[in-house]
Amino acid sequence: MYNDDVLMSGLTELGLNPTAEQIAQLHTYYEMMVATNEVMNLTAITEYEEVCVKHWLDSLCLVKAISVDKLNTPLRLIDVGTGAGFPGIPLKILFPSLKVTLMDALGKRIRFLEEVVAALGLSNVTCVHGRAEELGRNTQYREQFDLCTSRAVTRMASLTEFCLPLTAVGGAMVAYKSQDCEEELTEAAKAIRTLGGNLEDTVKFTVPNSDFGRSLIVVRKEKATPAKYPRGGGKPMKSPIL
Q: Which residue is nearest to ligand SAM (CB)?
A: 83
**104 near ligand SAM, rule: CB under 6 A:** yes
Residues 109-148 that bind ligand SAM (CB under 6 A): 109, 131-133
Among 105, 122, 128, 203, indicate the residue that binds ligand SAM (CB under 6 A).
105
Among 54, 142, 151, 221, indicate the residue that binds ligand SAM (CB under 6 A).
151
Q: Three-state SS string across 157-205, please?
A: HHHHHHHHHHEEEEEEEEEEEECCCHHHHHHCHHHHHHCCEEEEEEEEE
Q: How many Å apart are CA 196 and CA 219, to the nearest integer?
A: 10
Q: Smaller CB distance to ligand SAM: residue 87 or 196? A: 87
Q: Smaller CB distance to ligand SAM: residue 151 or 177? A: 151
**231 near ligand SAM, rule: CB under 6 A:** no
Q: What is the dihedral of CA 103, 104, 109, 112, to 10 degrees?
A: 10
Give the number of residues in contact with ligand SAM, rule: CB under 6 A.
18
**90 near ligand SAM, rule: CB under 6 A:** no
Strands of the sheet containing 213-221, edge to edge, are 125-129, 99-104, 76-80, 145-151, 167-178, 213-221, 197-206
Q: How many Å apart are CA 83 and CA 95, to the nearest integer?
A: 20
| Binding characters for ligand SAM, 190-219, by CB under 6 A (x = yes) | ------------------------------
**161 near ligand SAM, rule: CB under 6 A:** no
For the beta carbon of residue 148, count every other beta carbon within 10 angstroms. 29
Q: Is 224 helix (H, G, I), strand (E, B) or coil?
A: coil
Residues that bind ligand SAM (CB under 6 A): 80-84, 86, 103-106, 109, 131-133, 151-153, 162
